Structure 1
Amino acid sequence: MQPRPNSHLLRQGRFSERGRAYLITAVVHQRHQVFTDWQLGRLLVAELRRAHEQEWVNSIAWVVMPDHFHWLVQLEQCDLAQLMQSIKSRSTLTINQALRREGAFWQTGYHDRAIRDGEELLPFARYIVANPLRAGLVDKIGDYPLWDACWL
């Protein structure tokens, strides 16, 4: 596996603050489309929900795509690095166990975008839940099993 040439830069200068909303994206190692099996996607969803239930975050919207996920959250009782380390490590364990495999599951790093104060969250949530439509996976979002938003 060749390292991505700038992946080490993803951590430089990263800052997160509690109470701020973030749009987070993480990608499966080598972009394997493991979440075409929606039951494997539900294992990841369980970890997203766990973070919400433990009040680490207020989960606003999420979608699990075949090879990545998008998650709109408001940080509550942890920082971004803690959150993503937990989500990625716990989901790696459960998904690898289900697949009877070992090794890396996620690509190194993740992408985040801080939402500015006063910015509306609804457009970001709509972007997230419309991903399966834009990707041509379904004709209606209600037909896609791996998404949710707090407004529903």
Structure 2
Amino acid sequence: MPRTGRLILPDFPHHIVQRGHNRQTVFASPADCHYYLDILQEFSKALDVKVYAFCLMTNHVHLLLDPGTDLERASCLVKTLAGRMTRYRNKLEGRSGTLWEGRFKSSPVQTGTYLLECCRYIELNPVRAGMVTEAGKYDWSSYSLRTDTKPDNWLSPLPGTKLWGTGKRWRERYAEFVKEGISEECYQQIHNAVKRNQLTGNSRFVDEIAQIIGTRVEQRGPGRPPKN
């Protein structure tokens, strides 16, 4: 069965997942995580790509990015991150070869509720994996930047949350939102969408994207259709 082509759209957030080659470890130490996040901060600013959320897991990474009008920005950022991290790890280990799978996964995300749900999905990954008991106890996700009063917060503000207030009230509301957890239905929708390079959103979003690109991207299940 032919693989689904990666879809990147202008002015939409994209949930991006990149995995280590053969699921090998990518982030083996805090130094590895610091190095990757330094590059992410530097080049997202240089390329003018908005970063809404991230989570570095042992053998893969989740990013929630908005490339703006230039479709090449997101790909360029992810490729830069991958290349720099590969050279860094190869030098540390005295080896050569690839560190990542050949292609990253990408799912355009509907703004509003789905964008918030995708942030929560990403930041709760370590909790679901049993690595920590709550999002705030994991050092390598965007959660602490969203909920702390750190002056070095370099994340882009989340659109569609003005009703949550500002400052301390906003941070408290966001922390409450993440603590509420994500439903299994919503988790599976986001998980399947990025796994299959499909859309994360409702039927109206599918219609909207069809108008933009001239073809309909259906949210299909895995594998071949059953035979009669």
Shorter-chain TM-score tier: 0.7 to 0.9
Does residue 134 (structure 1) correspond to residue 132 (structure 2)? The answer is: no
Which residue in 1 is equivalent to 2:96? Answer: 102
Question: Which deviations, in whole Å up to 9, do the C-alpha atoms of 1:17-44 show, x marking residues without a partner?
Answer: 3321000000011212242422212222
- Aligned match of 1:151 in 146, 151, 156? 146
Structural RMSD (CA) = 2.2
Structure 1 residues 34 and 83: CA distance shift in structure 2, 3 A: closer
Q: How many residues in Structure 1 have an aligned counterpart in Structure 2?
A: 144
On the 8 A contact 1:56/1:83 being kept in 2, the answer is: no
Q: 2:38 is aligned with what amino acid?
A: A
Q: 1:64 is aligned with what amino acid?
A: L
Q: 2:25 is aligned with what amino acid?
A: Q
Does residue 26 (structure 1) correspond to residue 21 (structure 2)? The answer is: no
Does residue 9 (structure 1) correspond to residue 37 (structure 2)? The answer is: no
Separation (CA, whole Å) in 2 of partners of 1:106 and 1:86: 12
Which residue in 1 is equivalent to 2:80? Answer: 86
Which deviates further from its counterpart, 26-35 or 62-71?
Answer: 26-35
Aligned-residue identity in percent: 24
Which residue in 1 is equivalent to 2:33? Answer: 41
Which is bigger in relative contact order (C-alpha 8 A, separation at least 6)? 1
Separation (CA, whole Å) in 1 of partners of 2:71 and 2:80: 10
- 5+ long unaligned stretches in structure 1: 1-5
On the 8 A contact 1:29/1:107 being kept in 2, the answer is: yes
Separation (CA, whole Å) in 2 of partners of 1:99 and 1:49: 25
Q: 1 or 2, which has the higher strand percentage?
A: 1
Structure 1 residues 117 and 128: CA distance shift in structure 2, 3 A: closer
SS at match of 2:92: helix
Separation (CA, whole Å) in 2 of partners of 1:37 and 1:45: 13
Structure 1 residues 22 and 99: CA distance shift in structure 2, 3 A: same
Question: Which deviations, in whole Å up to 9, do the C-alpha atoms of 1:60-105 show, x marking residues without a partner?
Answer: 0000001000001111355233232222112211232233322100
Which residue in 1 is equivalent to 2:44? Answer: 52
Separation (CA, whole Å) in 2 of partners of 1:92 and 1:56: 23
Q: TM-score w.r.t. structure 2 length? A: 0.56
Separation (CA, whole Å) in 2 of partners of 1:119 and 1:126: 11
Which residue in 1 is equivalent to 2:109? Answer: 115
On the 8 A contact 2:8/2:106 being kept in 1, the answer is: no
Q: Which has the larger radius of gyration?
A: 2
Structure 1 residues 121 and 19: CA distance shift in structure 2, 3 A: same
Q: 1:151 is aligned with what amino acid?
A: R
On the 8 A contact 2:48/2:67 being kept in 1, the answer is: yes
Structure 1 residues 116 and 130: CA distance shift in structure 2, 3 A: same
On the 8 A contact 1:56/1:78 being kept in 2, the answer is: no
